Every structure is written in structure tokens, then in C-alpha cells.
């Protein structure tokens, strides 16, 4: 009689446990895939085009930071146009920096139609640096780059 009770309990418990484990594992897989999908969208719409624009617009890295020509406003305008369309995909920090840069840019354009490079350089470089760091994070999460590659690159820079 005791064996039959144990068997009855097991016939009920095993399917419940199996269902719960299947549901839990499926849910974890879905959440991971959803997270990767969001990161992939950020990468494709915001970070990678931004990275490519940096090359096209002549943003160069050097030991002391980034080199760029802000005087004619073309570089800033191109990047602001791109970011305006896709800023919702960036981090809160990047969005805040972007609003600062855009506000400076618009006030300069309204007052003189030229960029004051000294006023614009620091916030603009902060924005570019933050976006490039987020780009690298996307590369790592998506498997295009690993942390060892970044560490090697940082050692070479020193």
C-alpha cells in the first residue's frame, strides 16, 4: 500500500516538476534572446553606424584623446543628425551628453552659424568616448570581440 501511494505521488509530482523546469528554462532562453535582440538593434542602428561615421568624418584617436575638426560644424551636424534619429537606443549617460552637445550646437548655430570649438570640444569628446565604450560593450556581448582583445589593445596604447 505504501508503494502505491509513493507511485501515485510521483506520477503527479514528476510531470509538475518537468513542466516547471521546462517553463523556467524556456523563459530564461527567451529573456536571453530578447536581451541579445535589443543589443543587436542598438548595435545595428546606433553604435556601428556611429563608428563608421567616425572614420568617414575624420575622427581619429591619439594618445591624448580624440582628434577632430569642429570649426565648420559638419562633423557635429552629421553626428547629431544620426544620433537624433537613434538616441533612444543609447544609455542614459549618452542621452544626457547628447542633449548637452545638441543644446550647445543649436545655440551656436542660432547665434553665429559657426561652432566655438573650445566650448564644444569637451562635451563632444565626452559623448564620442561614451558611445565608443558602449560600442565596445556591444561587441563583447554579441561575441564580435572579447575582453582579452581589449586588454591587449590597452597594453599596446601604453
Consecutive 10-residue averages of pLDDT for the chain (158 residues) = 75 83 79 88 92 74 55 72 92 94 84 70 85 90 80 65
Please report whether residue 26 resides in a domain: no
d(C-alpha 83, C-alpha 96), whole Å: 12
pLDDT at 68: 59
* 146 located within any domain: yes
In this structure, is residue 114 part of a structural domain? yes
The pLDDT of residue 155: 67
d(CA 129, CA 152): 19
Asked whether residue 16 is assigned to any structural domain, the reply reads: no
Number of domains in the chain: 1
Q: Judge whether 70 lies within some domain.
A: yes
pLDDT at position 25 is: 78
Identify the domain containing residue 106 by its residue range: 37-157
Q: 6 in a domain, yes or no? A: no
pTM to 2 decimal places: 0.71
pLDDT at 89: 94
Task: Report yes or no on 20 lying in a domain.
Answer: no
Q: Closest by alpha carbon to 82, among 56, 108, 117, 104?
A: 56
**Residues β-bridged to residue 60:** 67
Amino acid at each position: 500500500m505504501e508503494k502505491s501511494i509513493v507511485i501515485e505521488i510521483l506520477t503527479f509530482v514528476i510531470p509538475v516538476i518537468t513542466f516547471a523546469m521546462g517553463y523556467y528554462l524556456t523563459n530564461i532562453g527567451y529573456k536571453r534572446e530578447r536581451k541579445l535582440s535589443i543589443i543587436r538593434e542598438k548595435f545595428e542602428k546606433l553604435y556601428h553606424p556611429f563608428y563608421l561615421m567616425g572614420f568617414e568624418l575624420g575622427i581619429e584617436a591619439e594618445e591624448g584623446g580624440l582628434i577632430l575638426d569642429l570649426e565648420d560644424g559638419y562633423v557635429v551636424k552629421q553626428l547629431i543628425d544620426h544620433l537624433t534619429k537613434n538616441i533612444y537606443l543609447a544609455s542614459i549617460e549618452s542621452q544626457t551628453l547628447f542633449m548637452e552637445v545638441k543644446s550647445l550646437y543649436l545655440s551656436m548655430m542660432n547665434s553665429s552659424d559657426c561652432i566655438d570649438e573650445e566650448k564644444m570640444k569637451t562635451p563632444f569628446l565626452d559623448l564620442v568616448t561614451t558611445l565608443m565604450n558602449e560600442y565596445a560593450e556591444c561587441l563583447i556581448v554579441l561575441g564580435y570581440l572579447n575582453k582579452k582583445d581589449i586588454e591587449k589593445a590597452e597594453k599596446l596604447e601604453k
